[in-house]
Structures are given as structure tokens and as C-alpha cells.
Amino acid sequence: MKVRNKKGSGAEQVSELTTSRLSIYLRCLDHLATAGVRTVSSQSLAAQFGFNAAQIRKDLAWFGEFGVRGVGYSVQGLAAHLRQILGLGDPIRVAVIGAGNLGQALADYPGFPQYGFVPVALFDRATSKVGMHSKGGVPIFHIKRLPAFVRREGIRIAMIAVPAASVQQVANAAVAAGLRAILNFAPATVTVPPGVKVKNVDVTVSLEGLAYHLAKTVHAKTN
């Protein structure tokens, strides 16, 4: 087995486009596994889910050789490899910062534990919320207690669901608490020191993309 590792230390070599697709492949493989499929070729995977077969193979080639020539990939085996590549061995503990409607819904979202991400606590600066729980039973703490909690409870990821104006300051607090991975739900740009990863889930950007599609389509009809 040959794994490409161009630089000795952990440099940024594999594109995020690739890792995103790995997640999606994993989702597809789980789908096939529950359907009882044992083996799959890159071609049939591509056909079923709308990918390009060569791209699947290229994406996997960054990490090793997982297929059997003439046969394809073991569905369960490849899924296990992808989980290992993505670092999904043990459940990853998550803190949700911002205990508004969205934050509480995220803390209770059943999809997360199912995929190995466990929201352990909510944090907010409103003392009126502190001491309460989400519907699903996730406790709400004051944001001041984040650093101690991160250390004691082994939190790895911060999900930030606060208004856009407060995001930067909350992100700073998360970094100061030792977190190195942030998922930001607010429509705002966040700046963090090197080594910290931020991913933005900006729903307004997606909605405006849809709005553009609608506007364009209407225009086409008007012609």
C-alpha cells in the first residue's frame, strides 16, 4: 500500500473538496450497506449518486489502495477506511455556543450522535438561561465556564450559533479555551489564528444562490 505524503509534517495537501466528497461517499456507502450490498465498483457508485468514477478513485488514491482490481471495493471495508481517514473513531464531543432557538435545535438534532458527534453542553451569556436544559436534556452553562469545561469534558469542536455581531468574540473565546475546530452558523466572516479550522454554514448564502436561480429562470422565460 502506497500513501502519498509529500511533506514530513502535517501540511495542507488534500483539498477540502476532496474531504467533503469523502464524507459524501461515506454516506452513500452506509446507504448501500443497510441495503445489503457487499461490494461496489467506482463506476456503479458514480452512476447511482451522480459522481465521476475517476474522481472517486482519485480521491481515494490520496490515502491508499482500498480496491480489488476486477472486483471493486468492499462496502463495509471502504466505509471503515473512510471513517478512519476522517478521524471518526470515537465519538467527538461538541459544545454548542448560543442557546437560542437554533443553538438548542442543533444540540438536540438526532443526526449528530448518529454520525459520531455528541453535543455535550450549551453555552450562553444570558444568565437567565443558565441552569436550564434544552428539550433533549442538554444543559446550559454560562460562557465563562467554557475553558474549564473543554478541558474537563474533552470537547473538540465548537458549534457557534449566535448573532453575526457576536461571532468573532465568541470564536476568540473558543480558541482561548483551547478549541481548534469551529463550525460557524452566522452570516459573518471569522478570523482565527493559524492551526484553527473554521467552517461556515451560511444558510443565507445558499438561499441567495437559490434566489439567483429563480431570478435567472424568470428572466429566461421573459425572453
Partner DNA sequence: CTGTGTGAACCCCTTCACAGCG
Partner DNA sequence: CGCTGTGAAGGGGTTCACACAG
Q: Say whether residue 206 binds its own copies (CB under 8 A).
A: yes
> Considering Cα of 210, then 211, then 215, then 221, what sign does the dihedral take?
positive
Count of C-beta atoms within a 10 Å radius of residue 40: 22
Q: Say whether residue 66 binds its own copies (CB under 8 A).
A: no
- Secondary structure (DSSP) of 88-138: -SSPEEEEEE--SHHHHHHHH-THHHHTTEEEEEEEES-TTTTT-B-TT--
Which of the ranges 53-61, 101-109, 122-130, 143-151 carries the binding residues for its own copies, by CB under 8 A? 101-109
Which of the ranges 63-71, 121-129, 140-148, 169-177 carries the binding residues for DNA, by CB under 7 A? 63-71
Q: Say whether residue 24 binds DNA (CB under 7 A).
A: no
Which of the ranges 66-74, 136-144, 160-168, 199-207 carries the binding residues for DNA, by CB under 7 A? 66-74
Q: How far is the CB of 116 from its own copies (least distance, A)?
A: 8
Cβ distance to DNA smaller for residue 20 or 169: 20
Closest CA to 184 of 157, 211, 156: 157
Alpha-carbon distance 169 to 187, whole Å? 14
State the Cα angle at 58 between 56 and 60, rounded to 5°: 70
Residue count of the chain:
223
Q: Say whether residue 75 binds DNA (CB under 7 A).
A: no
Residue of the chain from 61, 80, 92, 181 that contacts DNA (CB under 7 A): 61
Cβ distance to DNA smaller for residue 8 or 70: 70
Residues 34-63 that bind its own copies (CB under 8 A): 49-50
Q: How far is the CB of 152 from its own copies (least distance, A)?
A: 18
Q: Say whether residue 42 binds DNA (CB under 7 A).
A: yes
Helix/strand/coil (H/E/C) assignment for every residue in 67-85: CECCCEEEHHHHHHHHHHH
Cβ–Cβ under 8 Å, residues 94 and 159: yes
Q: Say whether residue 15 binds its own copies (CB under 8 A).
A: no
Of these partners, its own copies, DNA, none, which one is at the site of residue 15 (CB under 5 to 8 Å by kind)?
Answer: DNA
Give residues in contact with DNA (CB under 7 A): 2, 15, 17-18, 41-43, 52-55, 57-58, 60-61, 65-73
